[in-house]
């Protein structure tokens, strides 16, 4: 129920979304920007539940997959809009070595560890620690991951701030500190469909740009095979805008083994201090545009290959193959076992920082 005194024009609205079986209250926070732009997030998994964005004509649509109620999120784990950690993506064999000590994680993706293990950050209740409207609407959530949770060393104290700026830009600011050497790789796992989830269409006609000259070829299990490969003359060359589905049916092994795209693209310059342009998606029909800026060294592009029709989300829509896409800023997969990749190590006294900006706009003409 919405708290007293909060109106439909308030920039921040806080309400109860549901309760966990143990009685823990899960909250929803609505952050409002300009022209109807609105972000809804829930404290379960610190997840983005909805993002409403106007099209060329000013019509609003929700552009991320999600569930209508908490029971839906609890019933099936699909990472819809979730904060993923302690380590996003895969770790080969669920094992890694740190300072001569080997750590074994639960293997929840065949022989590998995926997205934080059996009960990752996406399955945890987060705590709201701050909210405000100055200089723009924001909410900060925190979660403390105890030493050895899911096999990871060190107590990790994590915060995420969701902030609306510039009317239609969503900034995500992750931070973390540890009391022992550990590994950290946090990301947001939103599934985007800029045509609007309720429309029921897919994303194969979305136009995609990724500012990367190289990507990581992977095994059928999603583990990098070696060093980055050039995108030149491959279906992975998105340096110029191209429809997502234009080369999806190309009979190349890297596309076939994952039934589409599920690969890390290596951004030039590795990790940076300030966010820089990483990717752009446009739905030509509605004109909605999303630009991703990040300080992370990589972006995992996933074309929704394994959405299999087994989950019904908001608006009664069944989530089918290629109905949405993910752009997940992160360090590379299996980095703890690959000293040649950008490091995911975090030591006591250091602060993990990840900033990603999701800038929404509209193009005046299709393909602009």
Other Cβ atoms within 10 Å of 257 Cβ, number: 15
**Residue of 38, 282, 328, 354 marked catalytic:** 328
Contact predicate 337/92, CB 8 Å: yes
Distance of CA 268 to the CA centre of its chain: 20
Contact predicate 159/298, CB 8 Å: no
List all residues 6 or more positions away from 22 whose beta carbon is below 8 Å from its beta carbon.
none
**Residue 328 designated active-site:** yes
Look at the chain and count its residues: 368
Question: Is the torsion defined by CA of 317, 209, 269, 220 positive or negative?
Answer: positive
DSSP string spanning 42-91?
A: ETBTTEEEEEEEE-TTS-EEE-B---SSHHHHHHS---TTEEE-SB-SEE
Burial 281-292 (b: 16+ CB within 10 A, else e): bbbbbbbbbbbb
**Residue of 115, 189, 206, 207 marked catalytic:** 189
Give the helix/strand (H/E) hosting 90. Answer: strand 90-91
**Residue 97 designated active-site:** no
Give the closest residue to 287 by CA, choosing from 81, 48, 63. Answer: 63
Contact predicate 300/327, CB 8 Å: yes
Q: Residue 215 has what DSSP assignment?
A: E
Residues belonging to the active site: 189, 328
């Amino acid at each position: 129920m919405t708290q007293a005194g909060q109106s439909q024009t308030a920039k921040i609205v806080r309400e109860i979304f549901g309760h966990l079986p143990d009685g823990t209250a899960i909250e929803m926070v609505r952050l409002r920007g300009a022209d109807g732009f609105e972000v809804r997030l829930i404290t379960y998994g610190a997840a983005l539940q909805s993002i409403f964005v106007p099209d060329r004509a000013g019509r609003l649509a929700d552009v991320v997959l999600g569930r209508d109620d908490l029971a839906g999120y609890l019933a099936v784990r699909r990472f819809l809009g979730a904060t993923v950690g302690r380590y996003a993506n895969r770790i080969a064999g669920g094992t890694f070595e740190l300072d001569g000590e080997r750590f074994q994680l639960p293997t929840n993706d065949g022989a590998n560890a995926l997205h934080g293990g059996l009960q990752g950050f996406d399955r945890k209740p987060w705590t709201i620690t701050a909210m405000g409207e100055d200089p723009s609407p924001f909410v900060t959530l925190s979660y403390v991951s105890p030493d050895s949770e899911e096999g990871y060393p060190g107590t990790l104290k994590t915060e995420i701030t969701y902030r609306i700026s510039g009317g239609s830009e969503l900034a995500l600011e992750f931070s973390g500190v540890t009391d022992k050497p550990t590994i950290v790789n946090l990301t947001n796992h939103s599934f985007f469909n800029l045509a609007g989830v309720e429309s029921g269409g897919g994303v194969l006609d979305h136009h995609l740009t990724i500012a990367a000259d190289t990507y990581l070829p992977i095994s059928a299990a999603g583990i990098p095979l070696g060093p980055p490969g050039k995108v030149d003359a491959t279906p992975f060359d998105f340096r110029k805008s191209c429809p997502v589905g234009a080369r999806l049916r190309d009979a190349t092994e890297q596309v076939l083994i994952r039934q589409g795209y599920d690969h890390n693209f290596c951004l030039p310059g590795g990790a940076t201090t300030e966010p820089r342009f990483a990717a752009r998606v446009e739905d030509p029909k509605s004109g909605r545009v999303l630009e991703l800026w990040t300080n992370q060294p990589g972006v995992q592009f996933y074309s929704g290959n394994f959405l299999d029709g087994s989950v019904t989300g908001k608006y009664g829509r069944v989530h089918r193959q290629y109905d949405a896409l993910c752009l997940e800023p992160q360090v590379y997969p299996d980095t703890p076992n690959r000293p040649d990749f950008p490091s995911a190590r975090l030591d006591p006294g250091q602060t993990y920082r990840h900033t990603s900006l999701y800038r929404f706009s509209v193009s005046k003409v299709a393909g602009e």
